[in-house]
Amino acid sequence: MLAFSMDVEQLAGMVSVGTLLAFTMVAVSVLILRYVPPDEVPLPSSLQAPIDSVSLRYSNTVRSEDVDVDVEVSKSLGVDTWMRVLVWLVIGVVVYVIYGRNHNALQHAVYVPATHVDEIYKSSAESLSS
């Protein structure tokens, strides 16, 4: 649909920005996860083996250089491309929020204080066993 209303060059610029943003977010996320692993999720034994410090340093260098290259390439795209992407991102966020508010699975959830959880669990277990 966008292809009918936009010049191919404009559409290609938006695709480039989208790809660069996605790639940059992945590179930054890998760097963050490298230094701050989630505490709740146990790591598989294959990931708990000691990692060679050279390969770790190389991996972190590659990721940070990925981000640098992505930012530099993104700077070469025009301001009009960034404005179109910003408009579409705002539209996407608005649709996401409106849809989420109307289709929220927790909209009618009943929240119970933690002090009553055991009591509710016991009463539900008794009613199921009867």
- Beta strand residue intervals within 1-130, DSSP E: none
If we measure between CA atoms, which residue out of 6, 29, 9, 28 comes closest to residue 17? 9
Is the pLDDT confidence value at 37 over 70? no
- Identify the band that residue 64 occupies on the pLDDT scale cut at 50, 70 and 90: confident
Cα 113-42-58 angle, rounded to 5 deg: 130
Cα 15-89-98 angle, rounded to 5 deg: 140
For 17, other C-beta atoms within 10 Å of its C-beta total 21
Please name the residue that has the structure tokens 């977010």: 25
How many Å apart are CA 61 and CA 47, to the nearest integer? Answer: 20
Phi, psi of 41 (to 5 degrees): -95, 120
Average pLDDT over every residue of 20-32: 82
**Percent of the chain beyond pLDDT 70?**
78
